[in-house]
Amino acid sequence: MSAPDQAPAPAPEAGLDALNATDSNGTEALNATAKFVATPEGTALAYGSLVLMALLPIFFGALRSVTCSKSKNSADMPETITSRDAARFPIIASCTLFGLYLFFKVFSQEYINLLLSVYFFVLGVLALSHTMSPLMCRIFPASFPNKQYQLLFTQGSGESKEEIVNYEFDTKNLVCLMISSVVGVWYLLKKHWIANNLFGLAFALNGVELLHLNNVSTGCILLGGLFVYDVFWVFGTNVMVTVAKSFEAPIKLVFPQDLLERGLEASNFAMLGLGDIVIPGIFIALLLRFDVSLKKNSRTYFYSSFLAYIFGLGLTIFVMHTFKHAQPALLYLVPACVGFPVIVALIKGELTEMFRYEESSPEEAGTKEDLSESDKKDQ
């Protein structure tokens, strides 16, 4: 989350950006001679809206993550993060962030952002289409002519034949793709903050839904590593802030603090990086799947971690405005999202069971199903 600026389009953030502080008036302007002073109402509306927008993809993405691993469609199958992946992720993220910093220092910012806009246009259209599909399927009437399609790419032949891509879709999915393309063109041409948020919400929801941690220990490794990453790049250097101001892509949620004064043409934005949503979100989604595995018809760990996220994000905003200094969001979100469920598990006597919970990757799950089927045939 960041203070407002005076640019005509929303200033971007780094993918795992922190909640950036503001000056003594709670604002930051790129044009020092024309600083915008947000009203208390505008500030409350902006930050309240950002918190609400952050909660939506976490909540619905977690719910969708419970069933997406059962899908036979390769596009809907989750990507499992192992402990090795989790340990390497902060290093890869740091190299990527510093690489972008060097790129913006050496090359023209205009051309880099042009390439990034085209790249994120394609990704955003696909992500928004995937996000809309379940909703659109409920809206379309039963009489709607819905034809089925399949996009299949294989490698080899005979017994060595291997599927590379197996994507099944229908007419409703094509309609979603067309609507998403309209939003994409709108974003590409205008860079409007609403179009930016539509893509940002789609990215966040897809991330929470399709990125799965294989166990709680892996989640602790990932969140712990990114805790250090966030603190270092915000407090230790100006790299993240520089990239945030230069990077023009829908990798953040924005909301104008001058909406009440200027309406939809407002241009002074508070911002929240998608990394501060997706990283805690995939951990919260894991705890929901753990709740489901307990088969107790309760969602204790999911709700405790979800409330912890609200507490951590609110605490970040409070500290930012109290001390008027940049605050890395994961500094507060990680201890809250990990600590609250651990305390609950200790109280309920399920700490060992929680850390023993293990999810297998889709490939491993498929292998187990094949073995069980062969065992039944043998019997």
Which residues have C-beta within 8 Å of that of residue 286, sequence separation ≥ 6? 212, 213, 215, 216, 219, 359
Within 10 A of 312 (CB to CB), how many other CB atoms are there? 22
Catalytic residue among 17, 76, 230, 258: 230
- Please give the C-alpha separations between residue 346 and each of 287, 334, 341, 349, 352, in angstroms, as whole numbers: 15, 18, 9, 5, 9
230 catalytic residue (yes or no): yes
Strand partners, 213: 81
Quote the CA–CA distance of 309 and 317 in Å, as a whole number: 12
Residue 83 amino acid letter: S
How many other C-beta atoms can be found within 10 angstroms of the C-beta atom of residue 63?
15
336 within 8 A of 315, measured Cβ to Cβ: yes
How do the residues of the chain divide into helix, strand and coil, expressed in percent and rounded to 5? 65, 10, 25
Q: Which of 17, 76, 258, 276 is catalytic?
A: 276
Q: For the stretch 12-47, what's the b/e string if a residue is b when 16 or more beta carbons lie within 10 angstroms of its beta carbon?
A: bbbbbbbbbbbeeebbbbeeeeeebebeeebbebbb
The secondary structure of 129-188 as a DSSP string is HHHHHHHHHHHS-TTS---EEEEEEEES-GGG-EEEEEEEEEHHHHHHHHHHHHHHHHHH
The helix/strand count (H/E) of the chain reads as 13, 6
Kind and range of the H or E element at 287?
A: helix 275-294
Q: Is 85 assigned a catalytic role?
A: no
Q: Which helix (H) or strand (E) holds 209?
A: helix 193-210
Show which residues are catalytic. 230, 276
